[in-house]
Amino acid sequence: MSTALITGGTSGIGAAFAQTLAARGDDLVLVARNADRLSEMATDLKERYAISVETITADLAVRDDVIGITERLSSAEQPIDMPINNAGFGVRAKLTDPDTTPHEHAIDVMIRAVLILSAAAGRTMRQRGAGTIINVSSTAGFVTMGVYSAIKAWVTSYTEGLANELHGTGVKVTALCPGWVRTEFHERANIHVGSIPEFMWLDADRVVAECLGDAAAGKVISIPSKRYAVMMTIAEHLPHRLMRAVSRRLTSSRH
């Protein structure tokens, strides 16, 4: 019997992790802000899969809420085998906007919370000598498109560092780097997606299935789908100034 803790487990990629893991019989701890949605999701998964589902209503932008989750991650009696740091959102604000609070909020949720929760999980799991940490990053971290790219570049780099630190302890660590996935993400961030070609879109269930396979195989970076794997390999081998120029064109087409 295995238990996963999923931040942002009520929608999109997090909900797909919840469904997939529930279907294979894993117990779940779901974390998000919307208590009604958490409760609906928990009831549905418990009824359909006869698993245990705990919920934690928390805002990951609030440090005390994050510290509360570390207590659940550190429990020896009810161990978490797979923490999935997934909660996140898009940020459209420009880097030079006078109000930097949207950037700071994004850093709190997608950097500070990931740092604190991964550290707590890593400490406990190292003692047990087992477990898998998954941090949801993005292919946006391979380009330079504002604060969101910078945050996701941090998540990928941080996760690689964590994998090194935990190497040989029995704890596996994976950064999931998806491309465009159909979820509530774009609507919530007011991102116009009309110009994104159909072939660029990924299905959340397939992203999750591929990620879980990669994590089980000990892959540190998971880039779901052949097409994105090829695109990211090309991106890595292009001269960096060319990547910056492409990023500049893409950014200006969005504003």
Ligand X SMILES: NC(=O)c1ccc[n+]([C@@H]2O[C@H](COP(=O)([O-])OP(=O)(O)OC[C@H]3O[C@@H](n4cnc5c(N)ncnc54)[C@H](OP(=O)(O)O)[C@@H]3O)[C@@H](O)[C@H]2O)c1
Min dist. Cβ of residue 84 to ligand X (A): 10
Looking at the Cβ atoms of 5 and 87, the one nearer to ligand X is 87
- CA gyration radius, the chain: 18
How many Cα atoms are found within 13 Å in the side-chain-facing hemisphere of 66? 20
Q: Is 13 in the site for ligand X (CB under 6 A)?
A: yes
Closest CA to 186 of 13, 50, 52: 13
Looking at the Cβ atoms of 60 and 163, the one nearer to ligand X is 60
Q: Is 89 in the site for ligand X (CB under 6 A)?
A: yes
Q: Is 224 in the site for ligand X (CB under 6 A)?
A: no
Range in contact with ligand X (rule: CB under 6 A) among 57-65, 70-78, 120-128, 162-170: 57-65
Q: Is 116 in the site for ligand X (CB under 6 A)?
A: no
Looking at the Cβ atoms of 70 and 169, the one nearer to ligand X is 70
Min dist. Cβ of residue 64 to ligand X (A): 13
Q: Is 10 in the site for ligand X (CB under 6 A)?
A: yes
Q: Is 87 in the site for ligand X (CB under 6 A)?
A: yes
**Contact mark string toward ligand X, 180..219, x via CB under 6 A:** xx-xxx--x-------------------------------
Quick check: is 148 catalytic? yes
Applying CB under 6 A, which of residues 69, 84, 109, 175 lies at the interface with ligand X? Answer: 109
For residue 12, what are the CA distances in angstroms to 17, 105, 216?
9, 20, 22
Applying CB under 6 A, which of residues 28, 29, 32, 147 lies at the interface with ligand X? Answer: 32
Binding site for ligand X (CB under 6 A): 7-8, 10-14, 32-34, 37, 58-61, 86-89, 109, 136, 138, 178, 180-181, 183-185, 188
> Which residues carry out catalysis?
148
